Structure 1
């Protein structure tokens, strides 16, 4: 009886590889700790409304993202939407804005693709940029 009542730890989800947990692509947008931290920052600063299955960039968010050079091209796809991060179990930003942000971070050299994987390397310029622009500081691993 004593064993039957013992709490079992929750099963680990997501990748075992710490690089994939830190920063990776999810289709064409950012995922992992980095992406969730960016989404949290955008929400905290009033740039993003993120509720349930919906997301909306605020006018201040549009201005902020334009200041970074993030421009979503008009298309039939949703401008922004939440995407559940399978390693963090919290939402990151997807849609046209999420894809444009990922592309811009790669273009600025803040992130570099790792050969043969979806994992992304946060460069020294990226560490500084994510800290300065989003208030995001990630510990290695």
Structure 2
């Protein structure tokens, strides 16, 4: 990595199930980060009609809210609801759990928020496990 490059704020985590996907979100989320995640999910939809998803939020520093209204992001959100069975959201600022509870009734996706200390319970809820990363 070059000195002036920044690491991605959305990182995919391999799981022990082909149809279970996991992402870790850190820092300040940009339009490019959101588009990258939806691109990875679109690839998943090509392979699997339905998937389970776990998103872990660590060291959250904000979100580029203009990213939420980009055409590609809106398309990604709409398409996601057709393919996601369960979505576990782990950690994040206090308002994340409230947002999940507020929006849950409006989506066909089974959604649940877990505190950062409940990581094992979140993985159990989607019936998957993370694979060890590179050493």
Structure 1 length as normaliser, TM-score?
0.29
Q: Which structure: larger Rg?
A: 1
- More helix as a share of residues: 2
Structure 2 length as normaliser, TM-score?
0.29
